[in-house]
Amino acid sequence: KLASNENPLGPSKKVLAAVAQAAGDIARYPDSNAYQLKQVLAERLAVSPQQLTLGNGSNDVLELLARTFLEPGKSAVLSQHAFIVYAMAVQACGARPIVTAAKARGHDLDAMLAAIEADTRLLFIANPNNPTGTFIARDALLDFLDQVPDRVIVVLDEAYIEYSDGDDFPDGVALLSRYPNLVVTRTFSKAWGLAALRVGYSVASEAITDLLNRVRAPFNVNALGLAAAVAVLGDEAYLEAGRQLNREGMQQLETGFAAMGLSWIPSRGNFLAVQMPAEAMTVYQQLLAEGVIVRPIGIYQMEQHLRVSIGLAEENRVFLNALKKVLNR
């Protein structure tokens, strides 16, 4: 299964122990204010706990942002090929998504700036973006943030930041003191290996965080997820092993694609969008028959691409062999 950008290592051992221990308490509601996790996270990120909003996955936080700041008559700017949840969250609030055309598959920041209207309240950026893996470098992001009007909240989705190597890659949390209209979202679902437990969060000014926490449902993060997140933050070796595996796996897939004469979009995440010679949906079905699950991304207007998550070396090998067979390469 290389379809959902999960951590192929499986969970950290420290997480399994913490979850087993927390399981004894599941007749009780979780700590609605997530005191302990916020303390640990705040320290790690060098922010105050009053800047953190936790969610049932970062998906929950993205929806919370939309519910807090949007309503019919308001709009939000987002890019073509951007993570699909932004448009869904905006529309579910009765607000209007303004979608700008992608540039070289990535976000066109100039077009996004120009698309801001009088009723625009939110602007979504995924860095790196899913499903393309494209990213915005630090200088370009700063230049952009300098120009966004204060009344527009910029949501910078950093779900994959732990995989995003490179000195040119911006750390959104470090920019918060400079841009009070910035909200950074992150997750424990990817590099931290807790996808099933659903824990994500945002970091923002205390003023924005206060609004989010007023709209947030009580107990929106479960007790096992809270315990697991605290435990995994103490397992730096697990994070590093996952990053290393990702670098090697990315290389393995790129080498395999090159050997088959396929082109792909360079990615800063734990996945690659690779272009098929024909309709990707057909190849997807054929791969399924070989026992390999990847993600067709026609819903992102990328009918010729498949998105494949970086797996264990053996999983990558099985996938490449299946692809070779299916494509006759």
Q: In the complex, which residues of this chain contact ligand PMP (CB under 6 A)? A: 5, 57-59, 83, 126, 130, 157, 159, 187, 189, 195, 200
The answer to whether 178 and 150 have CB atoms below 8 angstroms apart is no
In this complex, which beta carbon is closest to ligand PMP, that of residue 294 or of residue 326?
Answer: 294
Instruction: Kindly give, in sequence order, each residue whose CB lies less than 8 Å from that of residue 75, ignoring residues fewer than 6 positions away.
Output: 90, 95, 96, 97, 98, 117, 119, 120, 121
Q: Which is nearer to ligand PMP, 233 or 320 (CB)?
A: 233
Neighbours of 268 (CB within 10 A): 20
- Count CB-CB contacts under 10 A for residue 313: 13
Tell me the closest approach of the beta carbon of residue 189 to ligand PMP, in angstroms. Answer: 3
Q: Which is nearer to ligand PMP, 144 or 192 (CB)?
A: 192
Of all residues in the shown chain, the one whose CB is closest to ligand PMP is 57
Residue 94: CB minimum distance to ligand PMP, A: 22
Least distance CB 326 / ligand PMP (angstroms)? 25
Helix or strand or coil: residue 166? coil
Can you spell out the DSSP letters for 223-283? Answer: HHHHHHHHHHHT-HHHHHHHHHHHHHHHHHHHHHHHHTT--EE--SSSEEEEE-SS-HHHH
Buried b (16+ CB within 10 A) or exposed e, 191-201: bbbbbebbbbb
Q: Residue 305 CB, nearest distance to ligand PMP (Å)?
A: 15
Cβ closest to ligand PMP, residue 111 vs residue 195 = 195
DSSP class of residue 102 equals P
**Smallest separation, CB 28 to ligand PMP (Å):** 24
Shortest reach from residue 158's CB to ligand PMP, in Å: 8
